[in-house]
Structure 1
Amino acid sequence: MNLPQKKNAQSTSRESVLPDDSIPTRRRISLAIAFPELPREFWSQVEKGIDAAILQYRDLGLTVRSVRSKDYDLTDQKQKMLELVDSGEYDAIAISPNDPQEMTDVIDYAVSRNLTVSTFNSDSPLSSRLFYIGCDYRVAGRLAADTLCRFVGRKGRVGLIMSYTNLQMQQKVTGFREVIGSYPDVELRAPLKLGPEEDTPFETFAEYFEGLDGLYVASAKLHLIASHLEAAGLAGRLALIGHDMNEDIHEGLKRDAITATICQDPFSQGYLIVKSLFEYLSSRKQPGPDEKRIKLELVTKENARYYV
């Protein structure tokens, strides 16, 4: 692998610095947590979980630095990851890879440099990472399909909106298709694939919406799709399901523009990746199977207030 020259990382740091004499008999443990900038609301909730873990473990010698890569830019994420590895400043790195397959060589390179590497939110199972903290996205897709089919009365036509195809998206779509296929009276329209842009014009969706009874948004565009449905006068007439929770999605639920959303507990993802790496480095304790998996929770307007 041709490695780029080391440059100064442009990153957002979240560090807890201890006085030199605060824990004289304890080993200092330094972690770097790398993840993309988008979607901003999701990752800000992850950072709250990271901060909670820092607060819990900083007096035991933990320091943590969070590094965000630009948008969904794989090149930028690779560069930042290599800078972290080559700096020699960290005992472990946690990464949410933009593209799990493309990041395999970089993760393996980090491990070859005697760094502990784990993944969270998005896995890279072909790499030599130690463990993964996150959701089972195949189950997430299955949950979305079963819920959507029930909302449309187990018959009719449903659509699927997805973004660029990575491992996480593949798993969601696989699970979704598996369950849709078990409902003989539900027809699945060919998926609409969108780019990573934050704002996509209504014209992109206008024809796709026609004749649909339900729609699953597997990407991070649920609130955008909801606003377009409202503009088209389809809000409440077409069942809409997606992922995550933020103020825009909460408002969409309250207005019935969004039927339900599947929350992936971003706070716990941030908290558990720091906790798990700290415990591994300090005592070689790996998280158990139940600790690695993040719960999936179905949210409607009736219980949405508990998730914002």
Structure 2
Amino acid sequence: MGITQKQIAELAGVSIGTVDRALHDRGRVDPKVAVRIKQIAKELGYRPNSVAQSLSILKRNLKIGVILHIQSHNAFFDDIIRGILKCKEEISDFGIAVEIKECPDFNAREQLKLINQAVEEGISAIAIVPINHPVIKERLNELHKQQFPVVFLTNIIDDTEYLSFVGCNYNLTGSITAGLLNLVCPKSGKLLLFSPSFQMLGHIHRMNGLKTSLEQEYPQIHLQDVIEMTGNDIKDYQLTRKALEEFPDTNVIVCPGGYSCGNLQAIQEMGYFKSSRIICYDSSAEIEKELRNRNITATIIQQPQLQGYTAVRTLFEYLSSGKSPASKNQFIQTRIILKENLSEI
């Protein structure tokens, strides 16, 4: 028969509650006491009673809500959802429900309604792709004060408290982009940056990381303009053509890839597949096709499926055992994909 928390408590001279908090790293426990408790548990081979834990979770009827910021699907968010569903299947034996709610594109008022709806429905925790808007910040800060667990998924917003952020390090990704541009255009470059919507604060951070690195490390590459894409293929096609007509000598392009088919279509039609070096973000069937054809030099991916999975897993562990993530910001590793390693996507 295995050692119990009660026996550990007797040996450590503390209460069972203190043992439970120390073993699961939750609540206030004197650090020296926690170390002693964990050492006793390790020496005696303590293992949690997973059956009892499962039954306890089942009785609590826990629900995780996932609130996206966008309703029109794209390849990136399709992968996010695949990761969410993978984790949902893994934790289904514990009886924890996972519900996905989709917001009309970048509509902060509608996202606020979804947050309030989730709380009213008895959702136990929320993973959210937050829109960078004052009403969202205010509501999420209210939930944090009420000790309601919220995980930011793939986007972060400032002046807002949260349990954990799961996504890429956007500023670093911008710097990586600059370094990659230097490799493909080491002597001189005239760059156009086509960015996804700046209603996602992460996209602003990525742009700033790119700008800073170009200014400090790679001044031979001149950023001619930044064009914010809309996610609407027709509008993005028009915006892209206009920018390329204004800067016809562009020879390096950074674009949002799967976020905007209209953007890629205009770049192709105007002949820039052959005359420019093109770096994309994220992946899609179209990007993979053009990587194989060497019309796109590389794409920088954020592993969205892993992001979706990790966000839900983080909330599951917090709800089931009170375990907080080791790091508040759980940065998912950014990867560079070329034609040669396409099979790794």
TM-score (norm 1): 0.84
Deviations 1:200-251 (A, max 9, x none): 2343333145111101125754643332222112213201112111111111
**1:222–1:70 distance in 2 versus 1, CA, 3 Å:** closer
State the distance in 2 between where 1:217 and 1:91 align.
38
Alignment partner, residue 188 of structure 2 = 155
8 Å CA contact 2:178–2:218 kept in 1: the answer is: no
Alignment partner, residue 277 of structure 1 = 315
8 Å CA contact 1:159–1:189 kept in 2: the answer is: yes
Alignment partner, residue 255 of structure 1 = 293
Which residue, 206, 224, 242 being the options, matches 2:280?
242
8 Å CA contact 1:161–1:219 kept in 2: the answer is: no
Whichever of the two has the greater Rg, that structure is: 2
Between Structure 1 and Structure 2, the one with more helix by share is 2
Deviations 1:126-157 (A, max 9, x none): 22211111111001111111111211224121
Following superposition, the deviation at residue 105 of structure 1 comes to 0.8
Alignment partner, residue 289 of structure 1 = 327
Aligned residues: 284
State the distance in 2 between where 1:32 and 1:48 align.
15
8 Å CA contact 2:301–2:335 kept in 1: the answer is: yes
Alignment partner, residue 65 of structure 2 = 32
TM-score (norm 2): 0.76
State the distance in 2 between where 1:154 and 1:289 align.
40
Alignment partner, residue 111 of structure 1 = 144
Following superposition, the deviation at residue 61 of structure 1 comes to 2.6
1:184 aligns with 2:219: yes
8 Å CA contact 1:226–1:235 kept in 2: the answer is: no
8 Å CA contact 1:169–1:218 kept in 2: the answer is: no
Following superposition, the deviation at residue 71 of structure 1 comes to 2.0
8 Å CA contact 1:229–1:257 kept in 2: the answer is: no
State the distance in 2 between where 1:62 and 1:154 align.
56
1:126 aligns with 2:126: no
State the distance in 2 between where 1:198 and 1:116 align.
36
State the distance in 2 between where 1:101 and 1:136 align.
23
Choose 107-116 or 135-144, whichever is displaced more: 107-116
Which residue, 46, 66, 72 being the options, matches 2:80?
46
Alignment partner, residue 340 of structure 2 = 302
**1:39–1:169 distance in 2 versus 1, CA, 3 Å:** farther
1:70 aligns with 2:118: no
8 Å CA contact 2:257–2:282 kept in 1: the answer is: no
State the distance in 1 between where 2:188 and 2:172 align.
22
**1:221–1:117 distance in 2 versus 1, CA, 3 Å:** closer
Choose 51-60 or 122-131, whichever is displaced more: 122-131
State the distance in 2 between where 1:67 and 1:154 align.
48
8 Å CA contact 1:141–1:172 kept in 2: the answer is: yes
**1:240–1:293 distance in 2 versus 1, CA, 3 Å:** same
8 Å CA contact 2:237–2:265 kept in 1: the answer is: no
State the distance in 1 between where 2:340 and 2:245 align.
31
After superposition, where does 1:201-212 map in structure 2 within 5 Å? 201-202=237-238, 203-212=241-250
Equivalent AA in structure 2 for residue 192 of structure 1 = I
Choose 111-120 or 28-37, whichever is displaced more: 111-120
Choose 251-260 or 267-276, whichever is displaced more: 251-260
Alignment partner, residue 85 of structure 1 = 119
8 Å CA contact 1:163–1:169 kept in 2: the answer is: yes
State the distance in 2 between where 1:198 and 1:276 align.
35
Equivalent AA in structure 1 for residue 219 of structure 2 = P
Alignment partner, residue 172 of structure 1 = 206
C-alpha RMSD of matched pairs (Å) = 2.2
8 Å CA contact 1:223–1:252 kept in 2: the answer is: no
**1:250–1:224 distance in 2 versus 1, CA, 3 Å:** farther
Identity of aligned residues (%): 21
Q: Which runs of 5+ in 1 are unaligned?
A: 1-22
Q: Which runs of 5+ in 2 are unaligned?
A: 1-53
